[in-house]
């Protein structure tokens, strides 16, 4: 499992929460959709799904290339996995 921190991320993200979307209140980030602009959702997604920091950073770049119609964590993860060898 990767161990990225906020400082490692390559893109700018929003870090504030609105209402019930606060993971400190819910205990977890959103379960289904991944908001690619919210760092508090992207960071745990990367750390959970990729074994090394370098893989997680590659996946971070890929997250921003995933087609916009793919919104769930599973669909985004599956797209990255299917396209891994073509990603820089």
Q: Residue 44's CB: how many other CB atoms inside 10 A? A: 15
- 19 to 24, 34, 39: CA distances (angstroms): 11, 17, 16
| Burial of 41 per CB tally in 10 Å (0-12, 13-18, 19+) | buried
- Comparing 12 with 18, the larger pLDDT belongs to 12
Residues 59/50, Cβ–Cβ less than 8 Å: yes
Indicate the angle between helix axes 73-83 and 39-49, nearest 10 degrees: 50
Q: How confident is the model at residue 32 (pLDDT cuts 50, 70, 90)?
A: confident
pTM for this entry? 0.85
């Amino acid at each position: 499992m990767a161990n990225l921190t906020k400082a490692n991320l390559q893109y700018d993200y929003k870090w504030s929460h609105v209402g019930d979307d606060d993971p400190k209140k819910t205990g977890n980030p959103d379960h289904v959709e991944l908001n690619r602009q919210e760092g508090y959702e992207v960071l745990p997604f990367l750390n959970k799904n990729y074994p090394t920091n370098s893989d997680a950073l590659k996946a971070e770049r890929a997250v921003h290339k995933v087609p916009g119609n793919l919104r769930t964590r599973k669909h985004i993860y599956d797209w990255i996995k299917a396209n891994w060898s073509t990603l820089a």
